[in-house]
Amino acid sequence: MKYTVTIPGEPTGKGRPRVTKWGTHTPEKTVLYENLIKLMAEPEITNGMLEGPLVMTIEAFYSIPKSASKKLREQMIRREVRPTKKPDTDNIAKTCGDALNGIWYKDDSHIVDEHVSKWYGEPACVVIEVEEWKL
């Protein structure tokens, strides 16, 4: 079984929690993005939660900068040039994994294989796919 969802907008990574005298707080931008992922992912559930070992594949598509030349823009579209900007792939994966806890699977500790790639594309979005691991 496999679930796939496309999250519109620029990829967002997991922000560092802030520790204050009142406790630990997750940045609002992270909370809002995780809630968007949950909202978009919930309707995808057709056969219940995924179980056992899971494989997560994430493709993060960044907007092509308006300042890019025509030649560079074409190279970005053909996937010859890739983004080397923030957020890092591990932060994107952490956001997606945490957001889908209790939605597509019981806990993100079930993810045994993960692949995250960054590309340029229009429109900007993040495509998340989670499937049960097979031999």
CB 14 within 8 A of CB 30: yes
Query: Per residue in 39-83, pLDDT tens?
Result: 999 988 888 899 999 999 999 999 999 999 999 999 999 999 999
Q: State which H helix or E strand residue 55 sits in.
A: strand 54-62
Average pLDDT of 3-17?
A: 92
Read off the pLDDT band of 88 (50, 70, 90): very high
Which CATH superfamily hosts domain 2-132? Holliday junction resolvase RusA (3.30.1330.70)
Dump pLDDT digits (tens) for 90-108. Answer: 999 999 999 999 999 999 9
pLDDT at res. 108: 93
What's the chain's average pLDDT?
93
Helical H runs in 1-135?
A: 28-41, 70-77, 89-99
Find out whether the peptide bond into 11 is cis, omega within 30 degrees of 0.
Answer: no
Phi-psi region of 3 (alpha: psi -120 to 50; beta: other; left: phi over 0): beta
DSSP lists the bridge partners of residue 57 as 115, 129
Work out the burial of residue 129: count CB atoms within 10 Å of its CB; fewer than 13 is exposed, 13-18 middle, 19 or more buried: middle
Q: What is the mean pLDDT of residues 12-25?
A: 84
Looking at residue 121, its pLDDT comes to 94
pTM above 0.85, yes or no: yes
- Eight-state DSSP code of residue 125: E
